[in-house]
Amino acid sequence: MTDEALVARAVEGDVDAYAALAERYYSSCARMARRMLRNDADAEDVVQETFLRAFRAIGRFEKGREFRVWLFTILVNQCRTAATSRKRRQLRFSDDEAALAGAADQRPIAVVEEKSAVAAAVDSLEPLLREAFVLKYVEGLEYTEMATITGAGISALKMRVKRACDALRPKLEAIYHE
Amino acid sequence: MSDVDNEELFERAGAALRESSASDERAREALVRAIRAEARRRRTPPRGAMSPWWMALAAAAVAFAAGLGIGRATGRQFVAATSLASDSAQRHVEFVFVAPAARNVSLVGDFNGWDATATPMRRTDGRATWSVSIPLAAGRHVYSFVVDGNDWVTDPQAPLSPEQWFGQRNSVVVVPVGDRRS
Amino acid sequence: MIFAAVAAPAQEARLRSALDAETFTKVTKMTDSARAESLPVDPLVGVALEGAQRRAPGARIATAVHDYLVALRGARAALGADAATPEIVSGAGVLLSGVSPEDLRRIRAAGTRRPLTVPLVVLADLIARGVPKDTAARAIEAAARANARDDDYSALRRYVEQDILAGASPAAAAMLRVRSITGGPPLE
């Protein structure tokens, strides 16, 4: 079923339809949040909060709007808020970063290593560049969509993507030409 | 035309990052559970055709907007408008929350030590809404609603507190002093 | 606040029954400091009791009280010693949202004769909903300069929230909606 059909049902109160949308977009939201927050637990919290906020607001969703872009607008703002709040917090109790390695990864080592290396490279970008790079190259969004999501102008976004790529190029070349 | 040289390098990196993570399955299931829990809290009990939960919320807001005379910490104003003043230091403020499927709702805040047993709310207007009116001193207060003894929920009509000391925000109400200058 | 009418010993009794011994000691040290500095004590007690009711670990409660005390100090420094208690408490919230003390000072200096409690509550709410903090601070500063009333800030908050839920970027929503108060062009 298309997003439009699911959204139309969700607007009418069909929870299963909304749950289907959540299942459909969970992974892309989660990977965006992980790149922006660089912490799996925070990312999971933010993604859940994003979907719950969207659920509460779905009754006001305008027909013709693209659900994914709307969802990502909420997600990006939640990520930015969480990043600010996390910087301020002094964690005196034990940080569970170590536990965030997550479940044992069963995929071939080469695949895992490539992803980790690329993730580390992208994570080293400053936040706005990282955000733009992920929206463009991981989520495959158009600049017009990115503009709606981030509130930045298209030329500003193109500049951020270019700067991100310039910073990443030597690192990615090193990863892929090993 | 791309502004970026060697586009395929970045496409490849993007593809690598699209590989799904092993922990997504568990988190996805937890999310769907959370969505269904949220829906249960807000939906009218199923009996024939169900109207969307947000229509009940909107209807309640309109119904309460027609009421006057008591400062309301919900609806359009988060600044409690008028009051039944017994003394100049405190005002009566009414709190309203729409939760048709809840079994019980209580008000917690800095005015009652966040004690969920201190200020139970009563069903009004059929079964959809809960309300309580309490005296509050002038100034800024933070509060939340506790649904069914366990779920702490912010007031959807009120500003959010900036503080999330324990992982969750609260809601804010401002009770003006007797001689409002604004 | 009701607690304001309750004597310090009664507050202490509530804290003692809610907190473990170690956390109680840490928290009352901080509330004593606040009292000595003439800073609001009730918000600190409130945070400790909230933490107890939410079953937070004692260390986390103590951290929260400490961070709040620091923010209250910063808010009073930025807003001035004559700031009213609700303004200081709201100002602390704004600092905790990431707004700089300088921006808080600018809002104070914007010259409005009206209390800043509501503007600062709205500022914190805008940030919580995703408006970048600098944009939000400038919007509130502009509104304060225009001597906006509490109702104007309430309306601003409501419209920005609706715009965001309808898909607008929070920054754009805030910059656009503050125009209805200031009557001027949108902020850059």
Query: Which amino acid is it at C62?
Result: A
pLDDT at A86 over 70: no
Each residue of A91-113: pLDDT tens digit? 333 333 333 333 334 455 566 67
Q: Within an 8 Å CB–CB cutoff, is residue B117 touching chain A?
A: no
Q: Which of B14, B23, B30 is facing A103, going by the closest CB pair?
A: B23
Q: Hey, are the CB atoms on C50 and B114 less than 8 Å from each other? A: yes
Each residue of A115-150: pLDDT tens digit? 888 999 999 999 999 999 999 999 999 999 998 888
Q: Chains with ≥3 Cβ pairs under 8 A against B? A: A, C
Least confident among A5-14, B85-94, B101-110: B85-94
Position with higher pLDDT, B70 vs C125: C125
Q: Which domains does chain B have, with CATH numbers?
A: 53-175 (2.60.40.10)
Main-chain dihedrals φ then ψ at residue A104, nearest 5 degrees = -55, 135
Same domain, A123 and A163: yes
Q: What is the ipTM of this complex?
A: 0.90
Same domain, A84 and A112: no
- Classify B72 as helix, strand or coil: strand
Q: Give A94's contacts in chain C (Cβ within 8 Å).
A: none
Same domain, A113 and A162: yes
Same domain, A61 and A143: no
Asked whether B125 and B157 are in contact (CB, 8 A), the reply is no
Q: Which structure tokens are listed for A20?
A: 């289907």
Same domain, A18 and A69: yes
- Classify A20 as helix, strand or coil: helix
Q: b/e map of A57-79 (b: 16 or more CB within 10 Å)? A: bbbebeeeeebbbbbbbbbbbbb
Same domain, A3 and A50: yes
**Confidence label for B19 from pLDDT (cuts 50, 70 and 90):** confident
Q: Hey, are the CB atoms on C1 and B89 less than 8 Å from each other? A: no
pLDDT at C70 over 50: yes
Q: Hey, are the CB atoms on C50 and B90 less than 8 Å from each other? A: no
B72 min Cα distance to partner chain C (Å): 14
Which CATH number fits the domain that encloses residue A137? Answer: 1.10.10.10
Same domain, A71 and A123: no
Main-chain dihedrals φ then ψ at residue B128, nearest 5 degrees = -85, -30
Domain hosting residue A137, numbered range: 107-178
Asked whether A26 and A40 are in contact (CB, 8 A), the reply is no
Residue A102 domain-assigned (yes or no): no
User: Ramachandran region of residue C40, left (φ > 0), alpha (ψ -120 to 50) or beta?
Assistant: beta
Residues in chain B: 182
Asked whether B101 and B45 are in contact (CB, 8 A), the reply is yes
Residue A93 domain-assigned (yes or no): no
Residue A41 domain-assigned (yes or no): yes
Q: Within 10 Å of residue A5's Cβ, how many Cβ atoms?
A: 11
Q: Within an 8 Å CB–CB cutoff, is residue C101 touching chain A?
A: no
Same domain, A56 and A136: no
User: Ramachandran region of residue A140, left (φ > 0), alpha (ψ -120 to 50) or beta?
Assistant: left
Which CATH number fits the domain that encloses residue A5? Answer: 1.10.1740.10
Residue A125 domain-assigned (yes or no): yes
Each residue of C147-188: pLDDT tens digit? 888 888 998 998 898 888 877 889 988 988 888 787 766 554
The pLDDT assigned to C168 comes to 82
Residue A97 domain-assigned (yes or no): no
Determine which of B90, B112, B160 to mutate to test the interface with C (most C C-beta atoms within 10 Å): B160
Same domain, A79 and A112: no
Domains in chain A: how many in total? 2
Cα A22 vs. chain centroid, distance in angstroms? 14
- Between CA B169 and CA C9 the distance in angstroms is 29
Residue A13 domain-assigned (yes or no): yes
